[in-house]
Amino acid sequence: MGVPEQKIEQKIEKITNRQVSAIRPLSGGCVGDVYRVVMQSGPDLVAKVGDGQSGLAVEGASLEYLKNLSDLPVPEVLFSDDNLLLMTFLPSTGGLGPGAQAHAGELVANLHLISHENGFGFDSATIIGGLHQPNPWNKNWVDFFRDQRLLYMGRTALDAGNLPGQLMKRLEKFAGDLGRFIQSPEKSSLIHGDMWTGNVLADGGRISGFIDPAIYYADPEIELAFTQMFGTFNDAFFSAYKNIKKINAGFFEERLSIYNLYPLLVHVRLFAGGYVGSVDATLKKFGY
């Protein structure tokens, strides 16, 4: 733990005016170490503890944005700065069965109905997997996805020594032709931005919450694509989603692979390994 446990307890007790009974480690935490905080009275809490440069304040602000603007279930933020993010604890006792899948489809489709007049991006940078995610506003999605997602994260992975230079050149060629493969939608959609199984909580056959957001306004297909990278959602999800929001033809056959280049590049930057081969295979699929 980066901060002494006693200091964490004291800070939480001062914020909540309640006594801490125990602090227990939880899984996850690219941005900070995660703990379940058992209180002597009242519901348990979740604490993320950072080093002052971890982006926890950004995560807290993102959760509050989703809470205030959407019906997506997220933890309530009790306190946030770059040393501590304190949230309500959300129950998670079951997997993503058919009921939870359908519920998720409804929730995500309604999230994607929220748009922004500025187009694609966000008022500030956000965080994905602990990495800086730039979001300068752009009226054109193709330009935004090319410059702020593919090329930005590709160069970040290259600079880290995790993406081979020759592969970066191929990525640049593909990015230059991006308009052949995707188009800019008329309206942007608010997305969670990091929607994989570990960030989706279910309880009693329903979704209890979404955590660790990397929000911005995007083509919603980039979110739908990422849900397939690790097999998070299935046909029950997509059936419920399509009852509320249309998915255009060609997404599953072609654009899904294109949009997953971005999370693949994030994983190349973080882990290298087999993700480099996945980027290579996707570029080959499209002739690059």
Phi, psi (degrees; rounded to nearest 5) at 131: -100, 145
Q: Which two tokens stand for residue 109?
A: 């489709």
Which residues is 138 bridged to in the sheet? 120
Phi, psi (degrees; rounded to nearest 5) at 74: -140, 160
Let me know: does 233 contact 101? Beta carbons within 8 Å.
yes
Hey, which residues are catalytic here? 194
